[in-house]
Amino acid sequence: MTLRIARHDTSDIVEFEDGSSWRIWPADVPVTLQWMPSTEFDIAPADDELCSHVVVNRADNSRVRVIAASQLWPINELQKLLRKG
């Protein structure tokens, strides 16, 4: 199903027309600055240990990693990744 943005008031949460809300991976937030209300997206399962899904921009196939907006990023895991990185 193709989705469009309903709300993107905060930098790390996006809500789509279907009512689903997603928390964007912190490093991927800059990508979302290019999103327009008319942009079409798909949501797909992710093969990632921290992110359950990806939001795919249909126009350019760019992807951002997400989890349900009701969840929080696991701080310990984030710190480990930042140290590696």
**Chunked mean pLDDT (size 10), the chain, 85 residues:** 86 93 92 89 92 95 95 78 64
The Cα 34–Cα 15 span in angstroms is: 16
Matching residue, tokens 């590696």:
84
Nearest to 52 by CA among 23, 26, 83: 23
Check residue 56 and give its pLDDT: 96
pTM of the shown model: 0.84
Find how far residue 57's CA is from the centre of its chain: 11
Check residue 45 and give its pLDDT: 96
- Within the chain, residue ranges assigned H as helices are 29-32, 75-84
The Cα 59–Cα 1 span in angstroms is: 15
Check residue 48 and give its pLDDT: 86
Check residue 84 and give its pLDDT: 66
